[in-house]
């Protein structure tokens, strides 16, 4: 087992332009989710929502290493993964608003978006569904050099999908990276209360190479991810990642998060992925305050345009469902 915390792997730092792009993408995801929450409270978003705020470094760090032939499968908390993979944010917001210009014509809502153009097999409302989808994709990717990535939460590690799919992937040495985004809670329950022995030992028991990393640091995610993906692409078989992270919002739209111990959220906010990356850009790569401000303002301008366009988009035309008479009606 290897462990990568908030340490930067030697030689992993490339250039200010790359990390500025990663920072901008995380800003876009955070701002997008803020808009989604505001629109939901105004009654514009149909169905439920599960926001990715606080976990941005994982999706952005991994996606920065993936190519057009790779595939990812996400959870119902999938907005961040979609945006990290390049899904058009205007089309994604329109989807959440039920508009016909949405990624899936306004019919998928928040939890079930599919974007094959950008390698996204889908977002799955069923806990563990992403693991099964990525494992299936791994079968078709054997020998191609491409990989499938499954994102899932800590609660999934108590589901049958977890054990069945990791076992299957290992038996057939599939090119799959299983990424557990451990945000500390399975809905409202601390993962330690229902996960005896922790998470990594479960994957290790099935002989998958495992990595623990700081999921609040996009540099750490990218550095570890580069090594993992290189091994998997080369035919090394599946690998498992536990990325420790934290969601800054409740589980879903109706959860105020009152079950969290006092001070816990504040402590995790000190490790906000945006703060961590901004500090690195400023202190290590010499990016000035004006440059950082310009990035932030450009994202807000883009989000203003996206929100206005999505709200102005038409709703889908009524769909007529044919009636079938098989003699029983």
Mind listing the pLDDT tens digit of every residue in the chain (329 residues)?
A: 444 444 444 444 557 889 999 999 999 999 999 999 999 989 999 888 889 999 999 999 999 999 999 999 999 899 999 999 999 999 999 999 999 999 999 999 888 999 999 999 999 988 889 999 999 999 999 999 999 999 999 988 998 989 999 999 999 999 999 999 998 777 767 778 778 999 999 999 999 999 999 999 999 999 999 999 999 999 999 999 999 999 888 677 676 677 888 888 889 899 999 999 999 999 998 989 999 999 999 999 999 999 999 999 999 987 665 665 555 44
Q: How many CB atoms lie within 10 A of CB 196?
A: 9
* Residues pairing with 115 in the sheet: 120
Q: Can you give 166-182 as a three-state secondary structure string?
A: HHHHHHCCCCEEEEEEE
For residue 322, tell me if it sits in a domain: no
For residue 212, tell me if it sits in a domain: yes
Q: Of all helices (H) and strands (E), which one includes residue 214?
A: strand 210-214
- What are the b/e assignments for 270-296, b being 16+ CB within 10 Å? ebbbbebbbebbeeeeebeeeebeebe
What pLDDT is attached to residue 184? 79
Q: Under a CB-based contact definition with an 8 Å cutoff, are residues 6 and 214 in contact?
A: yes
What pLDDT is attached to residue 167? 98
CA dist 194 and 260 (Å) reads 16
For residue 49, tell me if it sits in a domain: yes
For residue 324, tell me if it sits in a domain: no
Alpha carbon distances (Å) from 46 to 28, 43, 249, 310: 22, 7, 19, 14
Alpha carbon distances (Å) from 155 to 58, 119, 279: 17, 25, 32
3-state secondary structure of 185: strand
For residue 256, tell me if it sits in a domain: yes
Instruction: Give the domain CATH number at 183.
Output: 3.40.50.970
Range of the domain at 44: 2-312
Q: Which residue has the tokens 């091994």?
A: 231
For residue 42, tell me if it sits in a domain: yes
Q: Under a CB-based contact definition with an 8 Å cutoff, are residues 303 and 86 in contact?
A: no
Going by C-beta distance under 8 Å and a sequence separation of 6 or more, which residues neighbour residue 144?
69, 175
CA dist 82 and 14 (Å) reads 25
What pLDDT is attached to residue 324? 57
For residue 206, tell me if it sits in a domain: yes
CA proximity to 147, closest of 184, 179, 171? 179
Q: Quick one: tokens of 46?
A: 């149909």
Q: Where are the beta strands (DSSP E) in 110-175?
A: 120-124, 148-153
Indicate the number of domains in the chain.
Answer: 1
Q: Which residue has the tokens 């409270």?
A: 41
CA dist 123 and 48 (Å) reads 14
For residue 328, tell me if it sits in a domain: no
Q: Under a CB-based contact definition with an 8 Å cutoff, are residues 106 and 47 in contact?
A: no
Q: Of all helices (H) and strands (E), which one includes residue 241?
A: strand 239-244
């Amino acid at each position: 087992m290897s462990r990568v915390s908030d340490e930067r792997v030697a030689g992993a730092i490339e250039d200010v332009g790359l990390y500025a792009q990663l920072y901008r993408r995380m800003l876009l995801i955070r701002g997008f989710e803020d808009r989604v929450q505001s629109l939901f409270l105004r009654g514009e978003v149909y169905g439920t929502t599960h926001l990715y705020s606080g976990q941005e470094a994982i999706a952005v760090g991994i996606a920065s290493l993936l190519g057009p032939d790779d595939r990812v499968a996400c959870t119902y908390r999938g907005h961040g993964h979609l945006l990290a993979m390049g899904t058009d944010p205007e089309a994604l917001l329109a989807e959440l608003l039920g508009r016909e210009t949405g990624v899936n014509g306004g019919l998928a809502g928040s939890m079930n978006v599919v974007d094959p153009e950008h390698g996204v097999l889908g977002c799955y409302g069923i806990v563990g569904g992403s693991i099964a989808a990525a494992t299936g994709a791994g079968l078709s990717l054997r020998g191609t050099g491409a990989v499938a990535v499954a994102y899932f939460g800590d609660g999934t590690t108590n589901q049958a999908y977890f054990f069945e799919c990791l076992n299957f992937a290992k038996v057939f040495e599939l090119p799959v990276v299983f990424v557990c985004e451990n945000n500390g809670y399975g809905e409202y329950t601390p993962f330690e209360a229902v996960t005896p022995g922790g998470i990594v030992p479960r994957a290790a028991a099935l002989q998958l190479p495992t990595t623990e990393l700081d999921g609040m640091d996009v540099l750490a995610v990218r550095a570890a991810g580069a090594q993992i993906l290189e091994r998997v692409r080369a035919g090394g078989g599946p690998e498992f990642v536990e990325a420790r992270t934290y969601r800054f919002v409740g589980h879903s739209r109706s959860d105020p998060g009152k079950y969290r111990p006092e001070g816990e959220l504040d402590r995790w906010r000190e490790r906000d992925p945006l703060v961590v990356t901004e500090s690195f850009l400023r202190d290590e790569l010499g990016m000035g305050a004006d440059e950082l401000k310009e990035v932030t303002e450009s994202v807000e301008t883009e989000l203003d345009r996206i929100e206005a366009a999505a709200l102005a988009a038409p709703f889908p035309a009524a769909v007529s469902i044919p009636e079938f008479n098989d003699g029983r009606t």
